[in-house]
Homo-oligomer: A and B are copies of this chain.
Amino acid sequence: MKTLLKNCKYIVTQNSKRQILENQDVLINGNKIEKIGKNLKADETIDCSQNIVMPGLINLHTHIGMQLLRGIADDMHLKDWLNKKILPAESKLTPDKIYVASTMAIQEMLRTGTTCFNDQYISMNKVADAVKEIGIRAFLSRGLVDIDGKNPTEKRLKETDELANHIKQLKSSRISFAVGPHAPYTCSKNLLIKSQKLAKKYNVLNHIHIAETRKELADSLKNYGKRPVEYLESIGFLDKKVIAAHCCWITKGEIKTLAKRGVSVAHCPRSNMKLASGGIMPLKELQEAGVNVGLGTDSAVSNNNLDMFEEMHTCALVQKHNYWDATVAPAQTVFDMATINGAKALRINAGSIEKGKLADLVLLDANHFLLQPLEKNRIISHLVYSANGSCVQKVLVDGKQII
């Protein structure tokens, strides 16, 4: 079936020229964008004369199964937060609760303009079921931890195989399986190496947390005599399939390694600030080295919402703040992070509005008060610095209207 987004007031294409088009149509054929132009025709038409049409936002790092825990623990030191609040609460999360949490989180993401997310958590079969049902796009990995001795490495790897099989059975091109070794400090060397092999075997992404806290850095130096990225490089873990969340505490040398190996980084500024990680991912140096950087919300326990507009806003602010330089992280750069850079990291043909791309699209209310005064050359600024998820009116994933 063909669907036409008719007479779009503005189209934020995010193509290579970053064009913003006025009063044009977007023709969708099945799950892809077939054409952009004037006076196009289709079976079904959506009037977009009062809409800004933009690519769906891509949340490159989250744990949506934690959604029910929002607000149970804030303003605490990381160790207390984790040991006294999060781990006890997590131990009570049944698969059914994970399913409920997932449906809530997916609704929140869609309503706030996110069309695709990259997740790592527990009971991922249930997350996959919710994704299948509601219609968002997702990359799902079972979080793997074995260093505590409670979880044998082989058991973890088996669970990963089971998730791969479950997702295969769901038969949806929207749902992808990924491997998810939790972090260099929670996984044995054996698990990290086997995860990497598994990602190679399945030809899928390898989603990991790297260098989130000072403690992780200090422990890594103590245990391995190497910084986290150096350690992972030394065991052959890093390659183009790796998505590394956080990267707050990394050196220029480590940045060179990330660039050389083609690793993508998921920046989670609000989570890092809330948990007082201290370090902030060095955007300028990563960009200069050519590392692909996307944006993620992390979970609703450390954020506490999944609104990628607010994440963009805070990203721009904290980067400027950290460098004492208002020219760092300009609006277009940040909007790229939340769209095309995310798509690049996930290796999907999305993140911009161009012929042949996936029809993952967001229609904003052009009359929303947060978007005024509305002018072509102010749109990117408004999207990053003023808008939030409440500006979202309609959302399409895979060419289908979900919201």
| Chain A residues proximal to chain B, CB less than 8 Å | 68, 70-72, 74-78, 81, 104, 107-108, 111, 270, 272-276, 278, 280, 300, 303-305, 307, 310, 313-314, 316-318, 320-321, 323-331, 369-370, 372-373, 375, 378, 381-382, 385-386, 388-390
Contact = CB atoms under 8 A, between A and B. Distances in A.
B317 A382 contact: no
Contacts of A77: 325-327
A327 B276 CA distance: 9
A382 B71 contact: yes
A388 B321 CA distance: 22
Given A326-B78, A386-B70, A314 B316 contact: no
Point out which of A68, A71, A303, A385 has the most chain B C-beta atoms below 10 A from its C-beta: A71
Contact of A104 (B75, B323, B372): B372
Contacts of A318: 273, 317-318, 321
Contacts of A272: 321
A198 to B, nearest CB: 34
Contacts of A278: 321, 324
A326 B326 CA distance: 25
Nearest to A279: B324
A321 B322 CA distance: 10
22 contacts: A68-B373, A70-B381, A71-B385, A74-B330, A75-B320, A75-B329, A75-B331, A107-B369, A108-B370, A273-B317, A275-B326, A276-B328, A278-B321, A278-B324, A280-B321, A300-B386, A303-B386, A307-B370, A307-B388, A310-B313, A314-B317, A388-B390
